[in-house]
Amino acid sequence: MSPDAPSTDSTGAIDVARRNLLVHATTSVGVAGLGAACWPFIASWQPSEAARALGVPVEVDCSTIAPGQMRVVVWRRKPIYIVRRTAAMLALMGGHDAALKDPDSTDSQQPAYADNPLRSRAPSLFVAIGVCTHLGCIPRARFEVGGPHMGEQWPGGFLCPCHGSRYDLAGRVFKGSPAPTNLEIPPYSMAGPDQLVVG
């Protein structure tokens, strides 16, 4: 008898129950085999532990950042600048809008709560992604006002060492810089008066 021929009992009648059992068994084995073959591909779609860790918010205790100082933390592999701005720093923020490319940050990226002249939730705490918007170098803090290197009109801010882009203490880029837009502000919230959560 051919393997495909319907099975018959001793009377020659087709054994329907046996045939259905064989069909179900064959189908089950096929599905299980397909699942085993696909598992490596399906597993590769799952986010890795490292990827999950990358998306985790970063908590920072800002109580130890002295006035006028900056701390740098890493979030999603990017440096996050946290500056405790002093009253003197803030007093210099409004005097140079005409020298900025995007003083109102209309072409720059920030969350809605940082869409204001100081680009922050609270005036004293400035949070920004420390990546130059030109070609991605890391700007350096230049908080000292004036001076021989930055010029007498320098109000304090950041200088990118790669091609000389300059930003003020709200991350707003000065005209004459190759960087097109202000420093990006990341999403962040405050879990307490000094408890910053980035991400």
Supply angle C-alpha 51, 188, 74, rounded to 5: 50
Give least dist CB 139 to ligand FES, A. 7
One of 58, 70, 73, 137 touching ligand FES (CB under 6 A): 137
Binding-residue total with ligand FES (CB under 6 A): 12
Catalytic residue among 96, 134, 149, 163: 163
Q: For ligand FES, which is the closer residue by CB, 60 or 80?
A: 80
Binding of ligand FES at residue 19 (CB under 6 A)? no
Q: Please provide the DSSP assignment of 15-62 as one string.
A: -HHHHHHHHHHHHHHHHHHHHHHHHHHHHHHSPPHHHHHHTS-EEEEG
150 near ligand FES (CB under 6 A): no
Q: Which of residues 168-197 bind ligand FES (CB under 6 A)?
A: 178-179
How far is 17 from 3, CA to CA, in rounded Å?
17
Q: Are the CB atoms for 113 and 122 separated by under 8 Å?
A: no
Q: Does 79 bind ligand FES (CB under 6 A)?
A: no
Binds ligand FES (CB under 6 A): choice among 23, 32, 135, 191: 135
Work out whether 58 is an interface residue with ligand FES (CB under 6 A): no
Q: Does 166 bind ligand FES (CB under 6 A)?
A: no
Is residue 96 part of the annotated active site? The answer reads no
Nearest to 131 by CA among 50, 84, 186: 186
Nearest CB to ligand FES, comparing residues 22 and 135: 135
DSSP string, 59-116: EEEGGGS-TT-EEEEEETTEEEEEEE--HHHHHTTTS-GGGBSSTT-TTS---GGG-S
By CB under 6 A, name the binding residues for ligand FES. Answer: 132, 134-137, 160, 162-165, 178-179
